Amino acid sequence: MIRLEKRPQPSQLWTVLTPVLAVLLTMLVGGIMFAFLGTDPLEAIRTIFWDPLFNPQFAGFTRPQLLVKAGPLILIAIGLSIGFRAGIWNIGAEGQYIMGAICGAGAGLAFYPADSVLIFPLMILCGALGGFAWAMIPALLKVRFGTNEILVSLMLVYVAENLLASVASNLLRNPEGMGFPGSRNFKQWPAAHNAELISGTGMHWGVAFAFIAVILAYVLMSRHIQGFNIRLTGEAPRAARFAGVNPARIVILCLGISGALAGMAGLFEVTGPAGQISIDFNSGYGFTAIIVAFLGRLHPVGILLAGLLMALTYIGGELAQLMLGVPGAAIQLFQGMLLFFLLATDVFTNFRLSLGRKEPA
């Protein structure tokens, strides 16, 4: 009989090994799923994980996409991971992402068609503020009334989606758009365009900010006393209060950071890859980032790698859809499975298997 035995302390080896194992398991089970869908599993796996980077035919186009997709995922996941470390579950990043985009784009459009170098920084700031403000709703409700932040932040996603539909067809609608919903296209307004920084790489300001966020988060979580307080709050809330950590401040800090980062990601997306505020410019990054955060073990460097991997499944998924006719939803399932397998294999970090006699439990 196999039993689980608690390790005296978490295994460092398994902390690194579990994501790798989870990816392999997902490939295996995903392959079986593709076989059921009538696709050659090996070909599907190759199309998703190999072709976007190395196929001479597409790689030129798909490789830059890697950074384009990974940028927002990393930026949002870094923010989420800080909160998750403290046991604060912001799962409404999608809503903060939308609100950041609306506020940042709206602030910019108010100055249309001015041409100033200050416009884009202003838009970034307003994007961050928009996401921050949206995240402050669950934060303040939690601090003031003890309301569950999971449910509130998630409900606010639906509210934000409805607001997006409203502004896209009313407030921010392109006056020259012949009545179609959707804002002006930022790609045609250089002062507000989040253009590629190095041509052909997919590198835009959002990606640069994502890298900076990774570094800052690393310093915060491993060196700074606030990062220590955040981890302490997540590990042992009572010990944190005993140490003198103010739980309300941690809630505000964590939700504030994750909201601001998600808001920025939204702004970078509408002014760059998406190009305009439209009813469905958001593509679920806010939810996928939850998977990225866990897959990266809530560690900034891990999140960087996990973000790139998840971006690869997006691009590879599109490619598989195009080349092999694999349904787009299969990729969504694929990503969900990845999280599931990660959580399952995670048990080895804190427990070891032992073969022994069964205990009458």
Residue list 6-45, contact with other proteins (CB under 8 A): 6, 8-10
Q: Which helix (H) or strand (E) holds 68?
A: helix 59-85
- Can you tell me the distance from the alpha carbon of 265 to that of 157, in angstroms, rounded to the nearest whole number? 15
If binding is defined by CB under 8 A, does position 249 make contact with other proteins?
Answer: no
Q: Which of 55, 185, 246, 321 binds other proteins (CB under 8 A)?
A: 246
Q: In the complex, what is the shortest distance from the CB of residue 17 to other proteins, in angstroms, rounded to a whole number?
A: 15
Comparing C-alpha atoms, which of 225, 273, 276 is closest to residue 253? Answer: 225
The answer to whether the beta carbons of residues 93 and 79 sit under 8 Å apart is yes
Instruction: Identify residues 213-242 at the interface with other proteins (CB under 8 A).
Output: 223-226, 228, 231-232, 235-236, 238-242
Query: How far from 291 is each of 206, 236, 306, 343, CA to CA, in Å?
Result: 20, 24, 9, 10
What's the token pair of residue 130? 């928009």
Q: In the complex, what is the shortest distance from the CB of residue 42 to other proteins, in angstroms, rounded to a whole number?
A: 20
If binding is defined by CB under 8 A, does position 151 make contact with other proteins?
Answer: yes
CB nearer other proteins, residue 55 or residue 169: 169
For 55, counting Cβ atoms within 10 Å of its Cβ (0-12 exposed, 13-18 middle, 19+ buried), the class is middle
3-class SS at 175? Answer: coil
If binding is defined by CB under 8 A, does position 312 make contact with other proteins?
Answer: no
Alpha carbon dihedral 326, 331, 332, 338, in 10-degree steps, equals 140
Q: In the complex, what is the shortest distance from the CB of residue 355 to other proteins, in angstroms, rounded to a whole number?
A: 12
CB nearer other proteins, residue 64 or residue 307: 307
Instruction: Identify residues 75-104 at the interface with other proteins (CB under 8 A).
Output: 84, 89, 91
Q: Which of 147, 185, 201, 283 binds other proteins (CB under 8 A)?
A: 147
Q: How many CB atoms lie within 10 A of CB 181?
A: 18
If binding is defined by CB under 8 A, does position 141 make contact with other proteins?
Answer: yes
The answer to whether the beta carbons of residues 308 and 133 sit under 8 Å apart is no
CB nearer other proteins, residue 210 or residue 220: 220
If binding is defined by CB under 8 A, does position 336 make contact with other proteins?
Answer: yes
